[in-house]
Amino acid sequence: MKKHRGFPSRLPSSDFQFTIRRAHKAGPTPLKARERYADRRNADLIADEAFLKALIDQFGEEPFERGNLDAGRLNWLLGREVEMVDKPFDPVSYEALLRVNMAKAMVSFPDIFRDD
């Protein structure tokens, strides 16, 4: 499992995890797109935005390995702002390649791209 050095481990002052420390003995948690409903808590939206900003800061538009990135947090962005690169895509692989879809990220989280 690739460890993404310099990637934040969690959202500061919260319990929202961005990375995992070690590979699970039973294998990786499967990646699957989760539906984001309009009534999600504000704290969840802040965590999604911070995680996506960290992905953009670390990888930009380049493909990256899933590695030690938290599956739970990735699942909220998968299929929208984060897309699968591998064909066929293996949702239970730490080596699965992903990429940030900047066009969708700009629409969903425009504050990330503001130069305030």
Sequence-ordered alpha helix ranges (H) in 2-60: 42-59
- Which of 16, 22, 14 lies closest to 76 in space, CA to CA? 16
**CA 20/CA 53 separation, integer angstroms:** 18
pLDDT at residue 103 in the model:
95
Q: What are phi and psi of 78, to 5 degrees?
A: -65, 135
Band of residue 106 on the pLDDT scale cut at 50, 70, 90: very high
In this prediction the pTM is 0.89
Summarize the confidence of residues 17-40 as an average pLDDT.
86
Band of residue 40 on the pLDDT scale cut at 50, 70, 90: confident
Write out the two tokens for 85.
């690169």
pLDDT at residue 116 in the model:
56
Cα angle 55, 1, 50 (rounded to 5 degrees) comes to 20
Total of domains in the chain = 1
Percentage with pLDDT > 90 across the chain: 57
